[in-house]
A and B are shown apart, each in its own frame.
Chain A
Amino acid sequence: MEYIATVDGRDYTIAIDRAGEATVDDVVHAVDLRAIGGTQLYSLIVDHRSFEVFVERRAAVYDVMIRGDLFVIDVEEARLRQLKAMGGQAHPDHDASAIAAPMPGLVVKVLVEPGQAVDAGQGIVILEAMKMENEIRCPTRGVVRSLNVTAGQTVNLGDLLATIES
């Protein structure tokens, strides 16, 4: 089974056909991955090199942390990538437009207005939690389609704050 793992714009073609082996860009590596007590912490041994890694899975995207470095990795089956390339259709990013509250808290201030053009990284709302103000930033460039909260409102984890149209 062949996959393409994309990290920061770089593609790794990784084939997994037999247990204990992974072929990365045509080089065969001996691999052994074990979960340590749950679904977040893993021990990886690649060609006798030992790593401990934290993993968080978000659909097909994996956040992998090794020695303090965070890698955001998109894994796709190679044949699906090929099919998509033939169709010429880019994969739409379903969640890019919704900004959800990353934690419960109090909306202290709303920094944008509906219809306003926003840049990636621009502050959308300020959410107070743990006695600190946290700026919730826009993940993408676009236009504010809707604002779903007002100042003074408390929100729960995952509540919709705003939607951005790319």
Chain B
Amino acid sequence: MLKKVLIANRGEIAVRIIRACHELGLDTVAVYSDVDRAALHVRRAGEAYPIGPAPAGESYLRADKIIDVALASGADAIHPGYGFLSERAAFAEAVAAAGLAFVGPPPAAIRTMGDKVRSRQAMIAAGVPVVPGTDAGLSDDEAVRRAPEIGFPLLVKASAGGGGKGMRRVDGPEAVPAAIEAARREAAKAFGDDTIYLERLVDEARHVEVQVLADAFGNVIHLGERECSLQRRHQKVVEECPSPAMTPALRAAMGAAAVAAARAVSYVSAGTVEFLVDKDGAFYFLEMNTRLQVEHPVTELVTGVDLVKQMLRIAGGRRLRLTQDDIEWNGHAIECRINAEDPYHNFMPSTGRITGVLEPTGPGVRVDSAIYEGAEVGLHYDPLLAKLIVWGPNRADAILRMRRALEEYRIVGVKTSIPLHQKIMNTTQFIAGTYDTAYLESAFRMQPDEGRDLERAAAIVATLLAHHHRGEVINRLAPAGGPSEWKLYGRRTGMRQG
């Protein structure tokens, strides 16, 4: 088993990993950039070492410095977290070459799954369903002939394409020739290359991913799915487990496909196989994330398995003690990602000093966070401040609990996405579980709820404050004499901030 683990990350995930290490009795080593000296992961770890200036390229992405720190501190393993170096095969190789354990998969698995073409071929060979499509370079005749076997609706796509150029949707066989011609013409004009291929269009798709765990002895199990269809700019916003679209049969089929995908690349450690699921329950491999996921806690709350501890045990050479039959799914969990951004102003990033934090507590609530009063939120790293995760015996209870927890959560000093989540939890699409990957960006709006109670209360607050501010002005203009009536008013209502 391992003794000391270096965490090559920052923010909430570094804190999360440190917690797992400490619960396992492992020593921890943090690394930090110049702006992170006071960060929570530095304060929580047993040891901490500076590794360079704020830009990630000069600190958290410096594989050489991080490995040097690991060796100097006597660590025997490196956990990369997510992002940064977590999916770089060369880093995993360098860690192993330094005689350290990499808390993650073998480099070859990272490399294969990180390559769109090679991973697709590996999945086809393993019998894992992929989005039906052809290779590039079809002639017009071939394209017409093969379109029906791909299935409709499909997309004619330009190999050199991007930004929707050279792409045509086709809903039936009769429309294929015209679409090919249009796509070729557009692609030739835009990219100077009219090579095309066909791909099935997965309409009203949901993004559902399956968690797997594998040890170095060939044991692979799955821990069920996470529903991640609520996205903005391809970033997940809310995740839940189980998926509202799931049936036991579909879970078994997707679980088996995910296990086959992991076996196909001799996977070891925790990993996630992402699928698109269409409205008829057909599913297609998208990609495999060869690391711990941001949204791993929803799986932990529903299965009771601590994924980070499992990763550490596996990296220490232990055999997986869990079998597939041990995995049971109990109740429902939802995660909201709390970002430093302003949902009322086009999700503009919000920076500044956090002057107050009051985290939700109480039954069924988990907060994975790295913020504290006095923390500076800067522009160097991603805007994730914290993750709020709740568990309930069923989905309805989990939603009600999430609403309650969001209402308790107070972060003062920067704008956050908490209001966005409050709105999402009140939409009929979320409550009914009928959303797809397009919903948040197409149909969702930040609009006040009906009813004027809150509006009237807000008007009263603004007016009392305006009245108070007016009083301050008068005080300054007329300093003579005793306390003015405005000052007394302020005192009586306790509004003076001193």
B356 touches A51 (CB 8 A): no
Rounded to whole angstroms, the CA-CA distance of A29 and B459 in the bound complex is: 13
A41 CB contact (under 8 Å) in B356, B457, B489: B356
Given contacts A19-B493, A69-B449, contact A42 B461 (CB under 8 A): yes
B460 touches A44 (CB 8 A): yes
Interface of A is mostly: strand
Rounded to whole angstroms, the CA-CA distance of A57 and B355 in the bound complex is: 17
A68 within 8 A of B: yes
B382 within 8 A of A: yes
Rounded to whole angstroms, the CA-CA distance of A131 and B345 in the bound complex is: 18
A60 within 8 A of B: yes
A159 within 8 A of B: no
A110 within 8 A of B: no
- Contacts from A to B (Cβ < 8 Å): 1, 3, 5, 7-8, 10, 12, 14, 16, 19-20, 22, 24, 29, 31-42, 44, 46, 49, 51-55, 57, 60, 62, 64-71, 73, 75, 77, 102-105, 129-132, 134-135, 137
Residue numbers in B under 8 Å from A129 (CB-CB): 349, 351, 379
- Contacts from B to A (Cβ < 8 Å): 233, 340, 344-351, 355-356, 379, 381-383, 406-407, 410, 412-413, 418-423, 446, 448-449, 454-467, 469-470, 488-489, 492-497
Residue numbers in A under 8 Å from B454 (CB-CB): 51, 66-67, 69, 71
A14 CB contact (under 8 Å) in B419, B421, B460: B460
* Contact sample, A vs B, 26 pairs, CB 8 Å cutoff: A1-B470, A5-B459, A5-B462, A12-B456, A16-B463, A16-B467, A22-B460, A22-B464, A24-B459, A33-B461, A33-B495, A34-B493, A38-B355, A40-B413, A51-B457, A65-B419, A67-B407, A67-B422, A68-B419, A71-B448, A73-B458, A77-B470, A104-B351, A130-B381, A130-B382, A132-B349
B462 touches A73 (CB 8 A): yes
Residue numbers in A under 8 Å from B410 (CB-CB): 41, 52
Rounded to whole angstroms, the CA-CA distance of A47 and B345 in the bound complex is: 32
Apart from A33-B464, A37-B355, what are 9 other A-B pairs with CB-CB below 8 Å? Answer: A7-B458, A35-B497, A38-B497, A40-B355, A41-B356, A51-B457, A53-B458, A71-B448, A132-B383
B466 touches A3 (CB 8 A): yes
A102 touches B493 (CB 8 A): no
Q: Which of B383, B448, B461, B497 has the most CB of A within 10 A?
A: B461
B459 touches A73 (CB 8 A): yes
Residue numbers in B under 8 Å from A33 (CB-CB): 461, 464-465, 493-495
Query: Which single residue of chain B is at the shortest CB-CB distance from A134?
Result: B348
Rounded to whole angstroms, the CA-CA distance of A126 and B421 in the bound complex is: 26
Residue numbers in B under 8 Å from A52 (CB-CB): 410
A103 touches B379 (CB 8 A): yes
Smallest Cβ distance from B126 to chain A, in angstroms?
34
Question: What are the nearest 5 A-B pairs in CB distance?
Answer: A68-B422, A62-B462, A68-B419, A71-B458, A73-B462
Rounded to whole angstroms, the CA-CA distance of A33 and B497 in the bound complex is: 12
Query: Which single residue of chain B is at the shortest CB-CB distance from A62?
Result: B462
B465 touches A102 (CB 8 A): no
Residue numbers in B under 8 Å from A1 (CB-CB): 467, 470
B466 touches A102 (CB 8 A): no
Residue numbers in B under 8 Å from A54 (CB-CB): 412
Smallest Cβ distance from A88 to chain B, in angstroms?
25
Smallest Cβ distance from A68 to chain B, in angstroms?
3
Residue numbers in A under 8 Å from B423 (CB-CB): 68
Smallest Cβ distance from B427 to chain A, in angstroms?
12
Query: Which single residue of chain A is at the shortest CB-CB distance from B350?
Result: A103
Rounded to whole angstroms, the CA-CA distance of A1 and B383 in the bound complex is: 44
A44 CB contact (under 8 Å) in B346, B350, B356, B461: B461
Residue numbers in A under 8 Å from B383 (CB-CB): 130, 132
A66 touches B466 (CB 8 A): no
Q: Which of B345, B454, B466 has the most CB of A within 10 A?
A: B466
Given contacts A19-B489, A19-B492, A131-B382, contact A55 B462 (CB under 8 A): yes
B458 touches A64 (CB 8 A): yes
Residue numbers in B under 8 Å from A5 (CB-CB): 459-460, 462-463
Q: Which of B420, B460, B493 has the most CB of A within 10 A?
A: B460
Residue numbers in B under 8 Å from A135 (CB-CB): 346
Rounded to whole angstroms, the CA-CA distance of A142 and B413 in the bound complex is: 33
Residue numbers in B under 8 Å from A46 (CB-CB): 457, 460
B461 touches A64 (CB 8 A): yes
B495 CB contact (under 8 Å) in A12, A34, A73: A34
Query: Which single residue of chain A is at the shortest CB-CB distance from B419?
Result: A68
Given contacts A33-B493, A46-B460, contact A62 B418 (CB under 8 A): no
Given contacts A41-B410, A57-B469, A132-B349, contact A35 B463 (CB under 8 A): no
A68 touches B406 (CB 8 A): yes
Residue numbers in B under 8 Å from A29 (CB-CB): 460
Q: Which of A20, A36, A64 has the most CB of B within 10 A?
A: A64
B356 touches A103 (CB 8 A): no
A137 CB contact (under 8 Å) in B346, B413, B422, B448: B346
Smallest Cβ distance from B255 to chain A, in angstroms?
34
Smallest Cβ distance from B353 to chain A, in angstroms?
11
Residue numbers in A under 8 Å from B344 (CB-CB): 70
Residue numbers in B under 8 Å from A62 (CB-CB): 461-462, 465-466
A103 touches B448 (CB 8 A): no
B457 CB contact (under 8 Å) in A10, A38, A44: A44
B379 touches A24 (CB 8 A): no
Query: Which single residue of chain A is at the shortest CB-CB distance from B351?
Result: A103
Residue numbers in A under 8 Å from B413 (CB-CB): 40
Smallest Cβ distance from B372 to chain A, in angstroms?
15
Residue numbers in A under 8 Å from B465 (CB-CB): 33, 55, 57, 62
B460 touches A71 (CB 8 A): no
Query: Which single residue of chain B is at the shortest CB-CB distance from A68?
Result: B422
Smallest Cβ distance from B414 to chain A, in angstroms?
10
Rounded to whole angstroms, the CA-CA distance of A137 and B418 in the bound complex is: 23
